[in-house]
Structure 1
Amino acid sequence: MNYNVSFISLGCAKNQVNCEQMMARTRDAGHTLMPTPYGSDVVVVNTCGFIDSAKEEAIANVLEMGKLKLEGQVKKILVTGCMAQRYKDEIMEALPEVDGILGTGNYADIARAVDEVMHQGKPTWFSSIHAPEDEYDRVLTTPSWYAYLRIAEGCDNHCAFCVIPSLRGKYRSRPMDNVVAEAQKLSDSGVKECIVVAQDITRYGMDWDGKRHLADLLKELCKMDFHWIRLHYLYPDEITPELIEVMAQEEKILPYLDLPIQHCNDTVLTAMNRRGNKAYLLDLFPKLKEALPGLVVRTSLITGLPGEDEEAFEELCDFLREVNLQRVGVFPFSPQEGTPAEKMERVEFEEAVRRADLLVDVQSRIMDDYNESALGEEREILCEGFDSQTQMYFGRSYAESPDIDGRVHFEAEGEVEPGTFVMVQITDTMDGELTGKMV
């Protein structure tokens, strides 16, 4: 029987790809995909469970769907994703409005789960999170001009503060032939910006033969009609001279790297089971900047980690000023149950928040200086729409990744279609974002 099914995807881009795959499985089973939950037979909430704020967002969405269920707008609720994997017992006990729950090893079972709940069943399915990845189609939910290309699942890094390995399993690289075929399909469909994602893309292929194959994959992607190729989640200790050389030689690969470092203090890094040290980072960033002119680095930093005293925190502030990273997300340490860091001695959460606020102030000044340095430049902008409030078009340059880095607003004399590349001269800033005029 055909049912109306809607999806809500929360969390990271990797989770979004999983949701797109579930949508395709549901469509191919003959069900109708609904743009909103209203009128759905089944609504699927694909959750994130990485940090406390993500869990709170997931619970809020489930409760909201529960209200719609009471009103008769929704008949059944399925919960999938990382929070489902992590808190399966708690969800079924504390959220009675949930009709079924699927772990991260059961995305391929979504169509069967829809049938099950519509026949009064209550699927609670949790297969192995270490199994090879299923290969199946996607329904793209991003705008037509960009898409995420997930090249691996799971993680073998086992950072002391992180629950991802217990939610997503061991690192499994997708076969290169499959990745290339999917990328070619994206390219043929008109995708102009391919964003390569995994929990750690620098380890791609190491589970096959112990060798890194990201550089090999990038060479294949650069043969396609993508205009931009953007790289997310590279671990610093796995960036090889060969990879730097490929990134420098291939014009399609943007000089934008999402490179999570979390901290710089050696004691903290060791306690957190992070490979590399401060000296390595101080050596790496100049090499990257020399090889990739105009390089923009996004990273994440955590304040209040176990081992971070006042001196280590001041070291982190000085490090940030020295390496001058343009895009930094700062998070106070929130201990996650089941991780080694949960049991380690640390500062109070309020102190971690205070330190995070101070580090944000440091980063704000760095961002102001970066924006000031961009004034007068001409940058290629991927137009993404028109803002009726500012009466300006908006888009992104190589320096802005979608949803996390803001926009570039610009004036244009004629109409500019979304998905079009234009040249914009940067003339000013507005609320921390760049503005300019199309040239």
Structure 2
Amino acid sequence: MAIKVGMVSLGCSKNQVDAEIMLALLKKGGYTLCADERQCDVVIINTCGFIEDAKRESIENILEFCRLKEKGKLKVVAVTGCLAERYRQEVASEIPEADVVLGIGRNADIAEAIHKALHGEKVVEFGKKEDLPLEGERVISNLPFFAYLKVADGCDNRCSYCAIPLIRGNFRSRPMEKVLEEARQLAEQGVTELNVVAQDTTRYGEDLYGRLMLAPLLEELCKIEKIRWIRVLYCYPDRITDQLLEVMANNEKIVKYMDIPIQHVSGRLLGLMNRQGDMQSLTALMENIRAKVPGVILRTTLITGFPTESEEDFEELIRFIKKVKFERLGCFAYSAEEDTPAAEMDGQIDEELKKHRAQIVMEEQYGIMEAFNRSMLGKQLWVAVEGFDGETYYGRSYMDAPDIDTKVFFTSSRPLKTGEYVLVTINGVQEYDLAGKASI
């Protein structure tokens, strides 16, 4: 009887790609993949360990499936991903109910580890971070018309608040020919939207080729016939070059969307974060992007409550938000992560104040988005169909990255298929989302 294996993958899109490579290895190893984790023999929790909330979610999932195993509804619980890599032996010792704990450097051994656990052996194994598989077949775990294309792993930026280098190691790009080969394979499988990701996508190629190679890579990706949309996520502000902007502006397949996590605009705080820039330089950057890529949608992520953030620093951030008017924005209260320099800094901010400031940012952003959405009334957008909720279809326009941005809800006079691209006339606003009617 075939062993059914399910996976819960938490956290970011980069972690999801790792999960999809492991799913393909399990399938190749003779296991049956199971979408309903509660109907499986084995469940793998591919964890996130980035900030406190993510760690808590990972642990809650692990414990939930361990309880199911105790009730006899599961045979094996396995823990992989960033939490397992970051805390290694602590995960194994503090959650003894977990049968398998694998660091990211041993992801390639997932099928063998499950086999051992099914035969009564507890498996706790770690390897070099650099041994994380960046190549290999994948089982796409989201809607089949889009996929994440991971072009690198790790990070060399060493932001003082961030644990990613501790978890993922140094930045390492994939050879361009490997990236293009995978993109062509995804296109042949029916993928029409590629979301290009890395911890720092704009750094792509610097380690392999001695120069930034994201722009040339995008030009090559545009040559893949069956790909319709190419989206670039996680751009580091210091490495957004005019060459990159020209490539974005001149290629129709590259959607006019940039995700640029800037974290703050106070030059003093950015210095403490081990980042560059200030309000003046970041404002100039956003103006340059909008000038060179007309119609571009700008997304950013901000941190409130970083150590020593004063009222003046926070007010400067609010002025910046009001001035730039990002079409998409997320904000997080600072999370003091152990073993990071920022966690040891003086001037830690009260938890409630951090959260209160984040709430103020998002309230400000709501008004900006509301005005932007009203400006879309009467306009037409191409929308990738994601589903039907019983009354209306819904999907994403070029303005929306999967899972993190808004939706377009719309009616259609004919049946539509998931993954189909339709032209929608916008005629309404539903809080953050748009509403419309498909033009058939």
Match of 2:387 among 369, 385, 388: 385
TM-score between the two structures when normalised by the length of structure 1 = 0.97
Aligned to 1:198: 198
Aligned to 1:247: 248
Distance 2:378 2:166 in 1: 48
Q: Find the residue that maps to 2:97 and give its secondary structure.
A: coil
Describe the superposition over 1:62-113 as per-residue Cα deviations: whole angstroms up to 9, x where unpaired. 1111121122111111100001111222222222211120111111110111
Does the Cα contact within 8 Å between 2:100 and 2:114 map onto a contact in 1? Answer: no
Aligned pair 1:20/2:20, yes or no?
yes
Distance 2:210 2:308 in 1: 32
| Of 120-129 and 1-10, the range deviating more from structure 2 | 1-10
* Deviation at residue 144 of structure 1 after TM alignment: 1.5
Distance 2:437 2:306 in 1: 44
Aligned to 1:351: 353
Aligned pair 1:398/2:421, yes or no?
no
Task: Read off the aligned partner of 2:262 and give its amino acid letter.
Answer: I
Describe the superposition over 1:108-148 as per-residue Cα deviations: whole angstroms up to 9, x where unpaired. 11011111211221111111113474521111111111111
Task: Read off the aligned partner of 1:367 and give its amino acid letter.
Answer: M
| Of 319-328 and 2-11, the range deviating more from structure 2 | 2-11
Q: Find the residue that maps to 2:364 and give its secondary structure.
A: helix
Aligned to 1:182: 182
Give the gaps of 5 or more residues in structure 1.
none
Describe the superposition over 1:373-410 as per-residue Cα deviations: whole angstroms up to 9, x where unpaired. 1111111111111112xx11111111111111121011
Does the Cα contact within 8 Å between 1:271 and 1:307 map onto a contact in 2? Answer: no
Aligned to 1:321: 322
| Of 29-38 and 207-216, the range deviating more from structure 2 | 29-38
Task: Read off the aligned partner of 1:352 and give its amino acid letter.
Answer: K
* Deviation at residue 8 of structure 1 after TM alignment: 1.1
Q: Find the residue that maps to 1:106 and give its secondary structure.
A: helix
Aligned to 1:50: 50
Matches for 1:402-417 after TM superposition, within 5 Å: 402-417=402-417
Describe the superposition over 1:169-189 as per-residue Cα deviations: whole angstroms up to 9, x where unpaired. 100101111110000011112
Distance 1:403 1:68 in 2: 28
Aligned pair 1:83/2:70, yes or no?
no
Does the Cα contact within 8 Å between 2:41 and 2:75 map onto a contact in 1? Answer: yes
Q: Find the residue that maps to 1:417 and give its secondary structure.
A: coil
Aligned to 1:154: 154
Distance 1:433 1:35 in 2: 29
Distance 1:393 1:42 in 2: 35
Aligned to 1:287: 288
Aligned pair 1:119/2:125, yes or no?
no
Aligned to 1:104: 104
Distance 1:43 1:413 in 2: 42
Aligned pair 1:336/2:337, yes or no?
yes
Aligned pair 1:418/2:390, yes or no?
no
Q: How big is the alpha-carbon RMSD for the aligned residues of Structure 1 and Structure 2?
A: 1.3
Task: Read off the aligned partner of 2:340 and give its amino acid letter.
Answer: T
Count of residues in Structure 1 that have an aligned counterpart in Structure 2:
437
Does the Cα contact within 8 Å between 1:14 and 1:198 map onto a contact in 2? Answer: yes
Aligned pair 1:302/2:303, yes or no?
yes
Does the Cα contact within 8 Å between 1:386 and 1:392 map onto a contact in 2? Answer: yes
Q: Find the residue that maps to 1:226 and give its secondary structure.
A: coil
* Deviation at residue 42 of structure 1 after TM alignment: 2.1
| Of 65-74 and 248-257, the range deviating more from structure 2 | 65-74
Does the Cα contact within 8 Å between 1:50 and 1:164 map onto a contact in 2? Answer: yes
- Determine what percentage of the aligned residue pairs are the same residue: 45
Match of 2:364 among 359, 362, 365: 362
| Of 270-279 and 6-15, the range deviating more from structure 2 | 270-279
